[in-house]
Amino acid sequence: APMSELFSPLSLRDLEIPNRLAVSPMCQYSCDTDGLPTEWHRVHLGSRAVGGAGIVMTEATAVEPRGRITPHDLGIWSDEHAEALEPITQFIREQGGVPGIQLAHAGHKASKRRPWDGNVPIAPDETDPDGAEGWEVLSPSPDAYPPFDGDRPAMRKADYDDIQTVIDAYREAAERSLAAGFEIAEVHAAHGYLLHEFLSPATNRREDEYGGSFENRTRLVREVVEAVREVWPDDKPVFVRISGTDWLDDRESWDIDQSVRLARDFAQLGVDLVDVSSGGLHPDQRVPGGPNFQVPLAEAVREGSDVAAGAVGGVTEPAQADAVVRNGRADLVLVGRQFLRDPYFGLRAAGELEDDAAPHWPVQYR
């Protein structure tokens, strides 16, 4: 049977990823309020490992409690979290997949109700329908908070100590992720969350060394990446997810040229793959959408820098995913919603692409 490109291995440092199909990080909002994984996470992530994904990436996993989007997000701010995640990474590896963790801080988009509870901010003196309390959120520039989902009564402008706390939290989260058995650490710097808020001039109006010039706006993410790389072993890859553009062409914002320039800095810092998403920063964004809509952004990063690139967004068909890799547009394809609809998307893709080297149905299901 013909070899597909989608099911060819990808080597990054000493890690061999069995194929180029990854489960994109997707919040499940299914913890109690302690950030610990539940049976839901075990079954959700485990099913997709059985389903043939080369990488199973966790949802945005908070490096500190105030960095959660909702009170029900997954976290990795204590050793107890790492211990609870360990059986999940072990199961993913037993199925032939590579477990990855997305390390996240939601910045001024934190402390919200879950999507199915209305998605609106929870003030510190309020609770969500489950009785979970809100908290004060961290922002680079509270005065530049975009008008998302109503008022934000409690925003704290990140001072020097807050910034150090965030960097240290990322470093410790990476150490714990390693102890939990993850083989890829992905820094979440996309979608209008904390690190992206610092990157974009649309949300960063600081006048200290963390705002203003490109160098200053990118300082925090570079320091976070350095901290993670410091503790993440040399034989294992680090990914960063960015928004390739804010889709705000009518104002000063973050765009693909800056993304390419940042990817070159990331290469110097030992980042192995940039996972290129887009948007999420501002409600005025004009996102084109449709099949492959972010692939050109991944392609630009791949062409313009020495890092590998991951493409994500609107990929639903096996042949489509294969073509992205075959045509040299990206090194890895991350699939989100299609993997929610079909946990066995990888096995179906292997069948459709008629690739013998691709993952097989587990013996239990043959």
Spatial distance between the Cα atoms of 174 and 27, rounded to a whole number of angstroms = 19
Residue closer to ligand FNR by CB (options 52, 314) is 314
Q: What are phi and psi of 189, to 5 degrees?
A: -125, 30
The closest alpha carbon to 274, from 247, 300, 250, 252, belongs to 300
Q: Contact positions toward ligand FNR, by CB under 6 A?
A: 24-27, 59-60, 102, 188, 190-191, 241, 277, 312-315, 335-338
Taking the complex as a whole, how short is the minimal distance between the CB of residue 13 and ligand FNR, in angstroms? 22
Spatial distance between the Cα atoms of 78 and 265, rounded to a whole number of angstroms = 30
Residue closer to ligand FNR by CB (options 211, 271) is 271
Angle at 271 between CA 267 and CA 274, to 5 degrees: 90
Q: What are phi and psi of 169, to 5 degrees?
A: -65, -40
Would you say 20 and 54 are in contact if contact means Cβ atoms under 8 Å apart? yes
Residue closer to ligand FNR by CB (options 27, 300) is 27
Would you say 23 and 323 are in contact if contact means Cβ atoms under 8 Å apart? no
H helix or E strand, kind and range, residue 309: strand 308-312
- From the CB of residue 251, how many other CB atoms can be counted at a distance below 10 Å? 10
Token reading at 266: 């990331």
Supply the residues annotated as catalytic: 193
Taking the complex as a whole, how short is the minimal distance between the CB of residue 125 and ligand FNR, in angstroms? 27
Query: Residue with CB nearest ligand FNR?
Result: 336
Spatial distance between the Cα atoms of 168 and 298, rounded to a whole number of angstroms = 29
Spatial distance between the Cα atoms of 190 and 319, rounded to a whole number of angstroms = 27
Taking the complex as a whole, how short is the minimal distance between the CB of residue 222 and ligand FNR, in angstroms? 19
Residue closer to ligand FNR by CB (options 25, 359) is 25
H helix or E strand, kind and range, residue 299: helix 295-304
Spatial distance between the Cα atoms of 338 and 344, rounded to a whole number of angstroms = 10
Taking the complex as a whole, how short is the minimal distance between the CB of residue 188 and ligand FNR, in angstroms? 6
- From the CB of residue 249, how many other CB atoms can be counted at a distance below 10 Å? 10
Residue closer to ligand FNR by CB (options 248, 312) is 312
What one-letter code names the amino acid at 95?
Answer: Q
Taking the complex as a whole, how short is the minimal distance between the CB of residue 207 and ligand FNR, in angstroms? 30
Residue closer to ligand FNR by CB (options 57, 353) is 57
Which residues, in sequence order, are bridge partners of residue 62? 75, 104
Taking the complex as a whole, how short is the minimal distance between the CB of residue 74 and ligand FNR, in angstroms? 9
Taking the complex as a whole, how short is the minimal distance between the CB of residue 59 and ligand FNR, in angstroms? 4
Spatial distance between the Cα atoms of 330 and 294, rounded to a whole number of angstroms = 11
Half-sphere exposure of 49 toward its Cβ, with a 13 Å CA cutoff?
23
Residue closer to ligand FNR by CB (options 211, 246) is 246
